Amino acid sequence: MKGLKRKIDQIKPKFEKGGRFEKLHSVFDGFYTFLFTPNETSRSGVHIHDSNDSKRTMIIVVLSLLPCCLFGMWNIGYQHFLAVGETGKSVFELFFYGFFAVLPQILTAYIVGLGIEFVVAQMRGHEIQEGFLVSGILIPMICPVDTPCWMLAIAVAFAVIFAKEVFGGTGYNFLNVALVTRAFLFFSYPSKMSGDNVFVSLGNQPAIDGYSGATPLGELASMEPGGSLTNLGESLTNVVGDPLTLNDIFFGLYPGSWGETSTFCILIGAVILLLTGMANWRIMLSGVVGGLLMSVIAHNWATPLYPATCVEPLTQLCLGGFMFAIVFMATDPVTACRTNAGKYIYGFLIGVIAIIIRCYNAGYPEGAMLAVLLLNCFAALIDHCVVSLNIRKRLKRTELTNS
């Protein structure tokens, strides 16, 4: 690494002001700061120095996503070969099947997203930020594995340009970029995001070329209203029609957007984020409490008219992208509330609204996406109300003291 740094330092003057490649300074600086920690120090103003710069923060978040990412790749292979009746595959065969299935999506997200950020940074003369390191891996993880790369590219371009760069780039967006990408896909190409997931053969598979089946939330959304409450509540099945247990759902052994099915892996990521101080426990806790409370209310007054209300509360929390959204989306420090009281309100409302949408609106079988985006819009207002209330309380306290 020392030899590589020495060579990069030798060509560095060519990319600085007055150099031959001055116009590519932002691109060079982006690669340089990604590989090495800059040795420059602040020249003016007062700054607080610690070890948590944006690069370190983003890398830790990416590391916290790895359990979900690796399991999701394995689960793609597992679901496919379970569907085609080949259950004797090794762990590595299952994993690499899924790895090669999602690799085009990951490359598409990073190439399109980073490409746009590089161009915009160069046009503005700004440094390239590390924010898309997280968004680039989140986006494929919350999309069905069969989403065409051209669709994903259009959605990523839309989200990066209109949800991030027009507001000033990293740190200035008020909407979560990954969820805006998913929302664009959901409303522009609903057939690909409706709860049906396709495990496509990559070639040389003996039984069939691919398998198409509904996710558990897709099953609930497509059920006809009516029938027995007991039957509706126990109707969730895997790709071969066997009933899904809470254990299967907790560990993520069912089809869905490949990175968000395993609550177990999500909790591992949550522990990493909390121990490193990269996410706020208030949002996670209040989000789970809000979702659990609404699930209990919905289940207590379950009705065949809304089949999703028949699902047990704990199963409700583990299904779909609820826990993934609470841990990795709602805790985004840029788009979430800043005040402590606001974080409790913000997380609680996300949990409640996500379950309400899931249970009572069959058109949106996964409510977590819309819940987080909706509360992103109200985060600043919630903080404003909390601060204003705090000011009024202090003024009253001051008046009482003076009197």
Per-residue pLDDT tens over the stretch 158-193: 999 999 988 888 788 899 999 999 999 988 888 766
pLDDT of residue 304: 82
pTM of the complete model: 0.85
CA distances from 109 to 144, 179, 190, 336 (A): 14, 13, 19, 24
Q: What angle do CA 378, 383, 389 make, to 5 degrees?
A: 125
Q: Which two tokens stand for residue 172?
A: 């200035």
List helix spans (H) across 240-339: 246-251, 263-275, 281-300, 313-318, 322-324
Mean per-residue pLDDT over the chain, rounded:
83
Amino acid at 211: Y
Reported confidence tier of residue 289, pLDDT bands at 50, 70, 90: very high
Compute the distance between CA of residue 243 and CA of residue 297 in angstroms, rounded to an integer: 25
182 φ, ψ to 5°?
A: -65, -40
3-state percent breakdown (helix, strand, coil) of the chain, nearest 5:
65, 5, 30
List the structure tokens of 183: 């929302």
Integer Cα distance of 82 and 104 in angstroms: 23
Q: How many helices and strands (H and E) does the chain possess?
A: 16, 2
Q: Write phi, then psi, for 22 (nearest 5 degrees).
A: -55, -35
Alpha-carbon torsion (293, 299, 300, 304), positive or negative: positive
Question: In which band, very low, low, confident or very high, does the pLDDT at 214 lie, cut at 50, 70 and 90?
Answer: low
* Amino acid 204: pLDDT: 44
Question: Who wins on pLDDT, 290 or 242?
Answer: 290
Show the tokens assigned to 123. Answer: 């046009």
Q: Tell me if residue 170 falls in helix, strand or coil.
A: coil
**Nearest-5° Cα angle at 299, 298 to 304:** 90
d(CA 153, CA 109): 7
Residue 380 to residue 359: CA distance in whole angstroms: 28
Distance of CA 37 to the CA centre of its chain: 27
At residue 88, the pLDDT reads 85
